[in-house]
Amino acid sequence: MEIDEESAAQINGERPFDGKPEMPAAFRFSAGVEDRTRAADCLAAAAFYEAGADREGQQAVAQVVLNRVRHPAYPKTVCEVVFEGAERKTGCQFTFTCDGALRRRPSEVQWLAARKVAEEALDGGIDKAVGTATHYHAEYVVPYWSSNLQKIARVGPHIFYRWPGGFGSRRVFRDQGKREEPHIAKLAWLANHDSAADAGETASPEEQSFAEMIAAMPPVVAGKASTGQDADQIVIGLDMKQPSGRWAMAALDRCDGRADCQVIGYPAGRTPEGRPAFLYTRDGNSGLDRALWDCRSIKRPSDDQCLPEDDAALRHMMRDRDRLAAK
């Protein structure tokens, strides 16, 4: 019998928790760059499409995926876990892989944020909120399998479960899985660099995968805003030899924990005035979260990632207008 959303929420709310999350050991991904890139892409896709832009929700989803990789009941790679059953119209393990959601693409800022969550999880980060959970569902549905599992946590609109008994205990999650991650055709929009490599070509910096753009390397040169500047406005110096996508990652790091934040980037060594090379804005009231580049000198994949050509419109976007007006 089909249950409407209101009744489902009531049923889920009335069911008590069966226990507390049990902490798994840290996950460590030890394979090469190519396999890690694929794993991070698959894990970030699951985090974003299942939890949206909510960081806590993304961390919980990533933990479930990695728990499954190490559990004997599931496939042994990140991508195989995420896309298990994706070839079917129904019955896929993660709904976004078979319901058409992948036609909706995240913004670059959203994707970089999800990639950061994925990289942290692959490096051993543990989400204590869900522990050894291997299942979850939205509060507005009551899956047939939920009554057979232990309800252990809730994060945002999702309820998390683990296997009962020894099959759900911490000691089961020991297998680190295999590390030969498969190519996923449904994520081909992330893999321009793969097609270039297959053709014997070298991908340009702007064609690199998001994983390559934010791979571990020295951060951009950055400094706090000068005295008298808005406390939520940060000026950074940019290494113009780096792929420009990394600047967005640096901005996300600088704005971590801030509801309102603006990062203005200028080429390192240049006086920070006039038209910037990069602008990131986060506004807590409107929910705006956007990164823009100066496409006069920086190539981006689409025009909607470019700063306004009109200088007046650009100054309007930037908070410290008086300083920027003196070009």
Summarize pLDDT for 289-326 with one digit per residue, the tens. 788 999 999 887 677 789 998 888 888 888 643 343 33
Looking at residues 142-162, what average pLDDT do you find? 94
Looking at residues 207-223, what average pLDDT do you find? 33
Pick the more confident residue, 157 or 176. Answer: 157
Looking at residues 25-52, what average pLDDT do you find? 91
Looking at residues 253-269, what average pLDDT do you find? 86
Q: What is the 3-state secondary structure (H, E, C) of the chain?
A: CCCCHHHHHHHHHHCCCCCCCCCCCCCCCCCCHHHHHHHHHHHHHHHHHHHCCCHHHHHHHHHHHHHHHHCCCCCCCHHHHHCCCCCCCCCCCCHHHCCCHHHCCCCHHHHHHHHHHHHHHHCCCCCCCCCCCCEEEECCCCCCCHHHCEEEEEECCEEEEECCHHHHCHHHCCCCCCCCCCCCHHHHHHCHHHHHHHCCCCCCHHHCCHHHHCCCCCCCCECCCCCCCCCCEEEEEECCCCCCHHHHHHHHHHCCCCCCEEEEEEECCCCCCCCCCEEEEEECCCCEEEEEECCCCCCCCCHHHECCCCHHHHHHHCCCHHHHHCC
Q: Is the pLDDT of residue 107 over 80?
A: yes
Predicted pLDDT of residue 287: 67
Predicted pLDDT of residue 137: 94
Q: Is the pLDDT of residue 229 over 80?
A: no
Q: Is the pLDDT of residue 253 over 90?
A: no
